[in-house]
Structures are given as C-alpha cells and as structure tokens.
Amino acid sequence: MPPDAVRLTGLTALLSIALALAAYFFSLGSDHAATNGDELLYAQITRWTAESGQWLPLQSEVERHRNTKPPALFWQGIVSTDWAKNYELWRLRWPNVVYTLAIAAMVFLIGRRMGGGNGAGLLAALVYLCFFGTYRYGRVFLTSAPETFWLFLPLCLLLLRPRPVAPLGWGTATLFGLIFGVALLYKSFALAVPAVAGIAWWTFHAREYRIGPWLKKDAPQIVWSGFLSLAVFSLWYWLDPQRHLLLADFVLDENVGKFDTDGGNYFANLLWGGSSVWRNVVSYPINAGLLAPAVVAVAVLAFLRRKELPDGEKLLWLWLITLFVVFTLPNQRDERYLLPGMPALAVLCALYWQRIPAWLLGVSLAAVAVIALGFAAGGALLTRDLGIGAVYPWYFWVACAALVGFAVAALLRPRLIRVAVVPAILLLYLAFGLFLSPFDGPLGAYDETAQNFARGKKIMAPINFGAREEVYRFLLPGSDPQPYKIKKFPGIEAMRTRGEPFIISVPLAENPLEGVSGVRLVGTRIQLVDRFDNKETADMLRGNVSPHLFKKDLLVEVVP
C-alpha cells in the first residue's frame, strides 16, 4: 500500500485515537456491556480467592468451577480490586483494556513497518479496535485480551526485526518460551500447541521447507521454547497446595473434555452441527463484526496474489492458518479461540484497504446506520414502556441521528467511504454506551434504601446463566445473593414461605405483588436482557420485543 494511501495524521489522527479511547473506556463498569457469561464466573472466583487471603488455591462457590482457568487472570483481578476491598466491575476490567490498547500499539508498529508510514499503522490499530470481537472480549474480565497479547508479542518481535526470516537463535527462543508461558498461565497449557506450531511453521518456511537444515538449526530452539513455556505454566502446579485437584478439574474436565463427543461421532461433528468446522470457517468474519465484508475481501485478494506475497504477510497468514487448524481439532469450537489471530488480520486489512471494493465497506456503513436506528427505536420503546417522561438525555437522540446522517452522507459520496467506516464503527460503540445509560444510571440501580436493607442479608436472586447472581453483589454491596434459575421461579407464595428476601425479574408492565399479602416491595431497578431462548426469540421476531428485552428486578421483603 502506498504511504499516502490513508491520510490519518495530525489532527485527524488525534481525533481518531481519542474516539477509540472513549469507546473503550466509556461505560466500562456497565452490567450490560457486550461480554460473555463467563465473566461473572471469573469475577466470583477472583472474589472468593481474594477473601481467602491466599493467592492459591483458587476458590469458587461451586466446586467444579474452582480450577476452570489458570490463576493469572484471577491474580490480576485480586491486584486490581485490592484483594476485593474495592470490588467493582470497572476495576476488574480496566487492566484488560490496557492489554487491548497494548495490542493495538503492536498492530500500529507492524502496520507502520509493513505499510510504509504512520497512517497505515494507525489505520491497522483502529481496524483492530473496530473488530467487534476486540470490543466485546477486549474490555471485560476475560482471558481473551491477555492471551492475545502474549501470543501475538513474539510475532510482533519477529516482524519488527531487520530480517524477519533470520534464524531464531537461542536467546530469542528463550524469550519466546517465557512469553508463551505467560499466555499459558492465563488460559491453558494447550496454547503451547499453536504458539510453537506457528513459530515452527515460520522457521520451516524460512528454510524453504528443507527439513534437514530445519531439524538441525531450528527445531532444537523451538522445542526449547515449548518446554520453557510449559515450565512456566507448571508453576501453577508446584505452587498450588491442592495440586491433586488440577488433573481432574483442569486437565481432564476443562481441556481434555473439549474432545468429548458426548457419545457422538467425532468426524460427523466435525463436518456438521453448531460446533463443526464451518463454525471456525466463519469465526474470523464473526470476530470482525461490521468489518466482516472487508475481512472476506482481504482473504480473497491475498489468495489471488498468494505467489507474490512478501515475507511479512506470509507470517501473518501462517499464524491465522495455524490457529484455525489447531482449534479445529477439539470437538468444541468457538470463535473466541481464534481471537489471537485478529491483530494479524487487522494489519492485513490495513495493507489491503485501498484494494477492498468500496461497496463492501459501504455495506458496513449501511449496517452502522441500521444499528444506530435500532438504538433509537429501542430507546423510544423503553421511554414508552416506562412512562416516566424523558429517560434518555437529549444528546442520545442527537448522537443517533448524527451517526445515521454521517453514515448516509458517506454512502452518497463513495470516495469518503474508506475514510468514514472506521470512525463510524467507533462512534457506534459510543452510541451503544449511550443506549445503556439508563440501565447503568439511577434507573438501573437500587436506591440507597434498598442497598441498606440488603446489606448483610441473603437474597434469592434470579439467574439465566452460571454465576449471574454475582452481579447483584455489585448492585447490592454487602449482600449475599443466592441463585435460583429464572425459568424455575417457584412463585411468590413459595418464595414467601422461605422467609428470605428475594428478587424477581418481570416485564415492565407487570406488577406481580399487587394484592399479595406477606411481602413488601423494597426496591426496583430496570435491566436489559441479553439472553433469550428459542421461544422468546421467535416472539420478538413477531414484533413483541419490549416484554422480553426490558425487565425490572423487584427486591422483595417477606413480612409477617
């Protein structure tokens, strides 16, 4: 790509960087941020371990969850919350935002080196931050950002060397082994496979696939890197006083269990089903989110010129293919497993940006406009259903209208599409944060009276996913939420006979306590529901959106 192909310098660069930072830090403490259900489980393990006063063994309310991941993420959370003394979502999350921004910095350096200037580097970094997988998993309390950082760092160091195809060397192999070991301590010893395989393939390619010289000059260093990474991971085993549990909990259940076909046929599951190889085929575009058309175009363009790719591009593609192949082997496949490949994909997108057909980027811009309209429609529905006047500040509506106008204006002037699509996506993430503002503000929180009532009490709390009750510890500090499955709500009378305070989640228009004796409403909050079963989804597609999307959590006291 010519150095002047993308002009992101000076004031434009500063504004773009500011926009990206705002998108990633805004509403960081939101209960409704785009995330994954495992986040609250990891938060719960962090809190239990911190309250034990020991770094190890890891603790959990449910025994089968105690060693679900290695300790690095939980140690990170212990430090960021000061041993759970300041137990808040944003404190758990901000270190991962720093990791994500550090990855973006690496992407910038590689993009600048391979693209010929700061503009190309900044475009690559912003594309990475525009990927929905990055936004969803790179700013919350999950292992995705740390593992991506530590797995991608050696590739970054290789690409920034004066000669990327130079032999690895023992010093570099030792450094890479230590770096990979940290990634393993965040996620799993299984990450040693793609880490070592990626470097092995690259060095084999650099030797022009001559096996003799590779076995003699590169293989020993690569084996040493793999051994050293596993040695770092084994610190968990040697330091944990309950090491006898790690084999059953982590090795067999959490890792080997991913090859379990549950009585089915491995090859049949590989070729068909919700976790088949086809899920991996679409995983990179899914992680790219609104830039999925661009990612597909880059793959096609690179394939067409595969015989003339420079070494740097080849290394990036080898890494992407390695991750795809390795994470196709387990019977459980998920787009999250391929997130460590997204930094490489962002660099490639920047390098091919001028070759991507403008109409494909226009599809992304059109999607931005449609989603922004969806936020406005959702805000109007919530305002109508609550019936309390203005729910959103005036600038929410202005922001949605401006974002739609910005996207449409760029679509009407095709030469602006390449410049507009990245800031439009970042602005959409900010609009999403504004859409969440009522749920994160006073309407979405219990008032001081409810918080004082709940402090020191056991509260029966509804959950639709494992450890979802943990969120009520943030909403009702000092309380002890006890979970019950929302689909198995036994009824108010049955809850009343237990004698403990409880929370019920109901549509905004319902008042299940009306005319019921023996209970008293203590507090109310509204929430945005993000998990639906097939029946609820079908009902929403028929237009009955509000009763499923918006709920209120009633905190109820049992009275004589």
User: E strands of 180-261, at which residues?
Assistant: none
Q: What is the CATH number of domain 442-558?
A: 3.40.190.10
Question: For the chain, what are the domain ranges?
Answer: 10-351, 361-440, 442-558
Q: 432, 455 in Cβ contact below 8 A?
A: no
Amino acid identity, position 154: P
Q: How far apart are CA 148 and CA 341, in angstroms?
A: 8
Reading the chain (560 residues) residue by residue, the pLDDT tens digits are: 443 345 555 677 788 889 999 999 999 999 999 898 899 999 999 999 999 999 999 999 888 888 999 999 999 999 999 999 999 999 999 999 999 999 999 999 999 999 988 889 999 999 999 999 999 999 999 999 999 999 999 999 999 987 766 678 899 999 999 999 999 999 999 999 999 999 999 999 988 899 999 999 999 999 999 999 999 999 999 999 998 899 888 988 888 877 877 777 788 888 887 788 999 999 999 999 999 999 999 999 999 998 889 989 999 999 999 999 999 999 888 999 999 999 999 999 999 999 999 999 999 999 999 999 999 999 999 999 888 888 999 999 999 999 999 999 999 998 889 999 999 999 999 999 999 999 998 999 999 999 999 999 999 999 888 788 999 999 999 999 999 988 878 888 888 888 899 999 999 988 888 878 889 999 999 999 888 888 888 888 888 888 889 999 999 999 87
Q: What DSSP string describes 299-313?
A: HHHHHHTGGG--HHH
169 Rama class: left (phi>0) / alpha (psi -120 to 50) / beta: left
For the entire predicted model, the pTM comes to 0.94
Structure tokens at 171: 């010093």
- Residue 3 has what pLDDT? 39
Report how far residue 422's alpha carbon sits from residue 438's, in angstroms, rounded to the nearest whole number. 27
User: Which parts of 327-357 fold into alpha helices (H)?
Assistant: 342-351
Is 368 exposed, middle or buried, given 0-12, 13-18 or 19+ CB atoms closer than 10 A? buried
Length of the chain: 560
Helix (H, G, I), strand (E, B) or coil at 554: strand
Whether the Cβ atoms of residue 522 and residue 453 lie closer than 8 Å to each other: yes
**Whether 318 contacts 195, CB under 8 Å:** no
Closest C-alpha to 287, from 337, 360, 332, 353? 337
Q: What is the pLDDT of residue 1?
A: 42
Contacts for 400 with CB less than 8 Å, ≥ 6 apart: 372, 373, 375, 376, 379, 431
Task: Give the residue carrying structure tokens 């550090």.
Answer: 102
Handedness of CA 306, 307, 308, 309 (dihedral sign): positive
* Cβ contact 556:525 at 8 Å: no
DSSP three-state, residue 368: helix
Six-digit token string for 360: 């494909």
Q: Kindly tell me the sign of the dihedral angle through the C-alpha atoms of 249, 255, 258, 259.
A: negative
Radius of gyration of the chain from Cα atoms?
Answer: 25
From CA 4, how far away is CA 20, in angstroms rounded? 22
Rounded CA-CA distance 269/275 in Å is 7
DSSP 8-class letter at 191: G
Give the end-to-end CA distance of the chain in Å, rounded to a whole number. Answer: 75
Residue 5 has a pLDDT of 44
**Count of C-beta atoms within a 10 Å radius of residue 336:** 20
Residues 6+ apart with CB under 8 A from 18: none
Strand 480-485: give its sheet, edge to edge: 480-485, 458-463, 502-507, 550-558, 519-528
Containing 503, the helix (H) or strand (E) segment is: strand 502-507
Q: Is 225 helix (H, G, I), strand (E, B) or coil?
A: helix
**Quick one: pLDDT at residue 445?**
94
The answer to whether the Cα torsion of 426, 428, 431, 435 is positive or negative is: negative
